[in-house]
Structure 1
Amino acid sequence: MKKLMMIGMLSAASYTVAHAQQPAGDTTMRYYSRLVASKDAADHATLESHLYKLLKSDKEKDWLVARNYFYQLGKGKVVDSINAAVKARFPLGMEMLQEEAKKVYAEKDPVKKEALYKALVKKFPPNKPGAESILYDYVRNAVSSAYADVDNVKKAVEYANMIETPIWKGEGWAGAAQRLAARGHKDEALELYKKAQANSFKYLTTHRNEPGAGFAGMGYVGYSTRAAALYIDKKDYANAEKYIKAAFDSSKGVSGDLYSTYAKVLVQQGKDQQAFDLIDAAVRAGQATPGMKESLKTLYPKVKGSAAGYDDYIVAVNKSLAETTRKTLARQMINEPAPAFELKDVDGNTVSLAALKGKVLVLDFWATWCGPCKRSFPSMKMAQDRYKDNPDVKFLFIHTLEQEKNATDSAKAYVTRNGFPFTVLMDLKDDQGKNKVCSDYGVKGIPTKFVIDKEGNIRFRFVGFAGGEDAAVEEVAAMVELAQQPKKS
C-alpha cells in the first residue's frame, strides 16, 4: 500500500500540467478509453492523474477501473501494487470473491467442489444484483461440469438449472450438455441444448432489446447445431432437419460444419435435389468439406441423370470461387507501413522484418490455447504449400499472448506433433507484461493475419477463422497475388 501511494504522489507531482477538461457529452469510461488509445504522452499523463484520484476512493469498483486502465497503459508494476492493496482494503469485495471462486475451480473432486461452493455462498451471500452476480453462475457451472464428468447426471443438471443470470442460462445449460453428451448421456444433453436454444431464440426475438441480448442470442446457432447432431445420433432426421435448418437460416456467415450437417440430414431423408443444391452452394462459397465433395460426386448423376460433365462442373465452380474471392479482396486492400519487428523462432534463430524486405509476407498471430487459430492451420498449411516453390513468399506464424511459462516449448511441440512445417516466432511478454509485436500491430484478438508487400507495407489485415478450407486458401492466395502487383499511383 505504501509503495502504491508513493507512486501516486510522484505521479501527481509530475502531471499537474496535463489536466485536460473532459469534453461535454463524454462518459467517464469513454473519456478514459480515448485517452488510453491516444499516442500523445500528455493524454496518457492526464489519464494517470485521473486514475490516481480513483485510488483515493472508498469504492472497490473505482480501484478496479484504475487497475484496468493502468494495465492498458502497460504499467505492470502499478497493477501489481493495486492487486495487493485491493485485497487488503476490501476483504469482502469482488477481488476476494474471485479468489474464493478460484479455489472452487481448482478443486477436481465434485463433492469437495460443491462444498467449497457452499462455503463461498455463505461467506459472500449473493443477495444483491451487480457485476458479481454472474460470477456465482460461473462457479455453479464449474460444479455442474465436475459432476457431469463423473456421470452424476442428476447433480450436473441440478447445478446447471441453478444458473440465475438470464442471458447466461443458455451457456450454463449448453456447458453441462456438452460434457454429458461426451459421457454418453445424450438424452439429458439434448434436453439441455433444446432449453438453451429456446432461451437464445427469445433474445433474438421478443427480448432482443434487453441488455445483453446480443450475447444471449449469439449461442443460438451453436445450440441448434448440437441439438441437431444429437437427433442425428438417434436417427430422428425430421427433428434434426428442424434444428439444423434453424441454425442455417439464422447464421449470417454460414460455416462448413453447418453445410455439412444440413447436407447429411437431407441425404439421409432421400432429399437428393435439396442436398445437391446445398452442397453446390457450399462448394461455391469455399465451405465444402471433403465428405461433402464425395457426396456431391454421388449426388451429381442422381440429379443430372448422368455422371458426364461432372469434372467440367467442378473446374468451373472452383474457377468461379477464385475469381469472386479476388474481386472482393481487391476492394479491401490497405497500404500502411508494417511495424518493424525482430523475434526469435522456436529454435532460437533471429528473424526480422528488415531482413525479409523484398518478399511478400503472411503473418499469422496465434497461440496454443486459441481454438480458431489451430482450426485454421490445415488451411494455412495448404496455402503455404501453394507457394513452397516461390522464394518471394514467406509465411511466419507469430505465437503471442501466451498463458504459460514454457510457451516456446509448447508452440514448437504443437506444430511438430501435428506436422505443420511452419516458421514459428515467439512474441513473448516484455518487462511491462506486453507482447510488443502483437501490440505494435494492433492485434485485438487472435487469429489475426496480415499480408505485407515487398516494400514492407501492410496490404491486408483479416481476423478470425469461419471454417471452409477452400475459401481460406483462396483468400490467402488472392491476397498474396494482389500484394505482388504494383501499387496504383
Structure 2
Amino acid sequence: MKHLRLSAFLAFTALSLLSCSDEPKETPLSIGNLELSETKPSPGDSLKIAYTSKDSLVPEAFYVYTVASSAYPVDLNLVKDGERFTDAIKIPDSADGLIFHFKNGEEYEANGEKGYTVNLYDAEGEMLPSSKVAIAHYISGRGSYYGIKTESDSTLAAYTQALENDAASSEDWLLPQIYLMSRSDAEQANTLAQKTIDSYSGKTLTEKDYTTLFRLAQFKKDQPAQDSLLAILKTEYPKNTWVLNNYVSQMRQAKSVDEQLEILDDFNENSGADGTQKDFLYRTIATTFLENGNIEAYTEYMDKASDDMSKASILNNLAWERAENGEELEVAETMSKQSLDIIDAQKSDKPDYYTAKQFEKSLASTKAMYSDTYGLILFKQGKVKEAIAAQEVAVADRATADVTERYLQFLTADEQYDKVVEKATEYIKDGNGTSATKEYLKTAYTASEQDEDFENYLSGLEKIAHDNALAELKKEMIDEEAPTFNLKNLNGEEIALTDLKGKTVVLDFWATWCGPCKISFPGMQKAVTKYADNDQVEFLFIDTWESTSGEAREKGVSDFIASNAYTFNVLMDTPKEEGSREYDVVSAYEVDGIPTKFVLGPDGKIKFKAVGFDGNTDGLVEELDMMIALASGQ
C-alpha cells in the first residue's frame, strides 16, 4: 500500500501553513501517515496534526489521552487541506500519552498494526514517567479493536519498568502485570501474587491495601481469603466497590423475591450507597415482581432505580419478550415507550468512555433497537400506521434482516405497495435481501401492476447484489499464513489442519454462550449440508472461550449440538492451562470476538476473515459460496 509522505522540510512548511501566527516550536514528528507539529509534545501544548488518507472522504477520527491506567477519548474534527486532513488539539494538562485512531470506510488504519501513539514529555524534554506504560496498557486492552497489534512481552516490560521506577504506581500497574503474566507463565504470576500478599504482613492496612489483597485472593482463587477480606471490608468500609459488587452477586443467586428483599434490606442497612449496584438490586426485584404478576410492586421498585440506561435496557427486554409472545401488549407498550423516553433524555449525559460523536451514534443505534420493539408491539395491537412510523426509526440505523423484514411486513399490511417495492429493491440490491424480503417484494410488485415480469426483475436485482458483493470480496481477499493446529473433535478424533492441505477449509470460532454464534448456525447448517458431498471443502467449528472446562464443557457442547441436530464437525480448542479462559488456537488466529470465520485456500493460507453475523441466513450462505469459490481459485 502506498502512502503519501513528506520530506522533513515540506512537512514543516505544510504544518506551519495551518496557522499564520504560530510556528512549530521544534521539528515536526512523522508517524506513518500522521504528521504532528512537535517532536516532544507536553501536557497543555497546542498540537497541530495532519493525516494523509487513501480515501478522499473525511476519515472518522478521534484521539485518546491516557492518565495512568485510565483513558479518555476525544473527537477529532478533520478538515480537508489539499491532499491531507488537518485539525488542532490542546493536550489536557493531566495527560501522559496520546493515541490517534483513523477510520477509513469500515476499517481502522493503524500504521501497519503499529498504531499512532505519542509519548508526552516534561518541560525539560524528558519523557513523563507514566507515558510509556500508560500507552502500553491502553493498547494491550483496546488496541486490537482498532487494528493495533501488541506483544505481551513488551507490555509486561513496561509494567515492570514502571513499578521499578515508582513503587507508588503499584495501584495502577501491579494487578494488570500479574494478570498479563499469567497468560504466558502462570507459575511466575502466582509467585509474584503471593510475594505481594506476603509483603503486607505485619503492616497497618488501609482500605486500598485490603482491596488489593482481596483482588489478589481472587486471582489465586483463594475463596477463604476472599471471604475473610470481604468481611473486613464490609465492616470497616461498607461502601467499598467490592462490598457493593458482592451484593450484586448475592442478588444474582437469590432464588425468590423474599431472598432478594432480604439482600436489599441488608444493603440499605449496612451500606445504602447510591450507584449502579443499588440500581441493579432494585431492577432485579422489580423484574421478579413482574414475572410474578405483581404490576404494582414492579412499578414501585423499578421507579427507585435511577440508572436510566440500564433501566431502559431492562424495560426493552421485558417489552420484547411480551411482544414476541403476543402477551400483555398494553403493559409492553408502556414499557417500550418508557425505554424510548429514557433514550431521548440522555443526550447530555455522556459517559467518559465515549467521544461526543460516539455517544450520539450509540444513542441512535439504541433508539433504533428499542423502536423495533415498539413497532412490533404496535403492529400486534393493530396500530399499523404507528408501527410503520416506529419501524422507520428502527431501519434508519444499519438494520439487520429481521428488522427490515418487519418494516416490509408493516408496509404490506398497510398496502403501501410502491414503498414496499422501493425499499425491498434497495435491500436486495445492497445484498440484504432474504427469502421473506423477496416474498414481500413479489406481493407488492404484483399488486402494483409493474410492466416487467417479476422473475426477471428479481433476477436483475440479485445479479447486481451478487456482482457488488463479489467485487468487494475480491478487494478483501488476503493471503496470510494459517496457524496450524491439532485438535480433537467431539468423537475423540484428532484433526490436524496440515492433513487438510489441498482442500478449502472454513473455520468457525464459537461458544455455547455466544448469541450471534447460535443465531448464525441455521445458516451454517445450510452451508454444511450444501457442501456435504464436496470432498474438497471442509467445515470445522472450533469451540472456544467457554466458561466451563473439562468434562462439563464437553458435555455442554455435545448436548447443544445434539439438541439442535447440527451435523457440525466440532473441535475443542485447548485452554492454555487448566481453568484458563485463554485458548491456544483462537489466540493463534488473533480472534477478538466471536463468531469469527476464516476461509483457507487449498494452499493452506487464509484468504478471508469474517467477524460477526448480520442476521441474514440466506446472505451468509451466498457469501460463503463466493468466498469458497474465490479461495479455491474458481
**TM-score with structure 2 length normalisation?**
0.65
Shift of 1:274: 0.9
- Counterpart position of 2:136: 31
Distance 2:478 2:339 in 1: 41
Q: 2:463 aligns with which of 319, 344, 363?
A: 319
Q: Give secondary structure in 1 for the equivalent of 2:622.
A: helix
Q: 2:604 aligns with which of 438, 456, 459?
A: 456
Out of 261-270 and 222-231, give the one that drifted further: 261-270
- Counterpart position of 1:260: 405
Q: Is 1:138 aligned to residue 280 of structure 2? A: yes
Distance 1:38 1:267 in 2: 51
| Aligned amino acid, residue 568 of structure 2 | F
Q: Is 1:342 aligned to residue 486 of structure 2? A: yes
Distance 1:143 1:22 in 2: 52
Q: What does the per-residue CA deviation read over 1:178-226, in whole Å, with 9 as the maximum and x for residues that have no partner?
A: 45655933222222212222332444x5666976535555421211000
Query: Are the counterparts in 1 of residues 434 and 619 from structure 2 also a CA contact under 8 Å?
Result: no
Q: 2:621 aligns with which of 466, 470, 473?
A: 473
Report matched runs for 1:412-423 at 5 Å. 412-423=558-569
Distance 1:53 1:125 in 2: 40
- Counterpart position of 2:245: 98
Distance 1:457 1:408, change over 3 A: same
Structure 2 residues without counterparts, runs of 5 or longer = 1-125, 142-148, 194-215, 235-239
| Aligned amino acid, residue 165 of structure 1 | D
Distance 1:256 1:34, change over 3 A: closer
Distance 2:166 2:265 in 1: 34
- Counterpart position of 2:377: 230
The root-mean-square deviation of aligned C-alpha atoms, in Å, is 3.2
| Aligned amino acid, residue 383 of structure 2 | D
Shift of 1:62: 6.7
- Counterpart position of 2:156: 44
**Which structure shows the bigger proportion of residues in helix conformation?**
1
| Aligned amino acid, residue 560 of structure 2 | Y
Q: 2:576 aligns with which of 393, 416, 430?
A: 430
Distance 1:58 1:45, change over 3 A: closer
Distance 1:236 1:341, change over 3 A: same
Q: Give secondary structure in 1 for the equivalent of 2:448.
A: helix
Distance 1:192 1:51 in 2: 50
Q: Give secondary structure in 1 for the equivalent of 2:590.
A: coil
| Aligned amino acid, residue 369 of structure 1 | W
Shift of 1:300: 2.2
The count of residues paired between Structure 1 and Structure 2 equals 456
Query: Are the counterparts in 2 of residues 148 and 179 from structure 1 also a CA contact under 8 Å?
Result: no
Q: What does the per-residue CA deviation read over 1:53-95, in whole Å, with 9 as the maximum and x for residues that have no partner?
A: 9997896x77665565456667474565456467655624323
- Counterpart position of 1:173: 315
- Counterpart position of 1:124: 271
Q: Give secondary structure in 1 for the equivalent of 2:395.
A: helix
Query: Are the counterparts in 2 of residues 108 and 146 from structure 1 also a CA contact under 8 Å?
Result: no
Distance 2:300 2:405 in 1: 34
Q: Is 1:355 aligned to residue 502 of structure 2? A: no
| Aligned amino acid, residue 197 of structure 1 | L
Query: Are the counterparts in 2 of residues 367 and 401 from structure 1 also a CA contact under 8 Å?
Result: yes
Identity %: 23
Distance 2:590 2:499 in 1: 22
- Counterpart position of 1:114: 261
Distance 1:96 1:471, change over 3 A: same
Out of 309-318 and 50-59, give the one that drifted further: 50-59
Q: Give secondary structure in 1 for the equivalent of 2:540.
A: strand
Distance 1:391 1:256, change over 3 A: same
Distance 2:405 2:259 in 1: 42
Distance 1:300 1:187 in 2: 35
Shift of 1:123: 2.6
Query: Are the counterparts in 2 of residues 361 and 393 from structure 1 also a CA contact under 8 Å?
Result: yes
Q: Give secondary structure in 1 for the equivalent of 2:606.
A: strand
| Aligned amino acid, residue 39 of structure 1 | E
Q: Tell which has more relative contact order, 1 or 2 (C-alpha 8 A, sep 6+).
A: 1
Distance 1:459 1:142, change over 3 A: same
Q: 2:510 aligns with which of 334, 357, 366?
A: 366
Query: Are the counterparts in 2 of residues 202 and 208 from structure 1 also a CA contact under 8 Å?
Result: no
Q: What does the per-residue CA deviation read over 1:389-448, in whole Å, with 9 as the maximum and x for residues that have no partner?
A: 322211111111112242222222222222221111111423161211111111111111
| Aligned amino acid, residue 351 of structure 1 | I
Q: 2:327 aligns with which of 165, 184, 201?
A: 184
Distance 1:25 1:304 in 2: 70
- Counterpart position of 2:446: 301
Report matched runs for 1:46-85 at 5 Å. 46-48=158-160, 50=162, 65=176, 69-70=180-181, 75=186, 77=190, 78=193, 80-81=218-219, 84=222
Q: Give secondary structure in 1 for the equivalent of 2:437.
A: helix
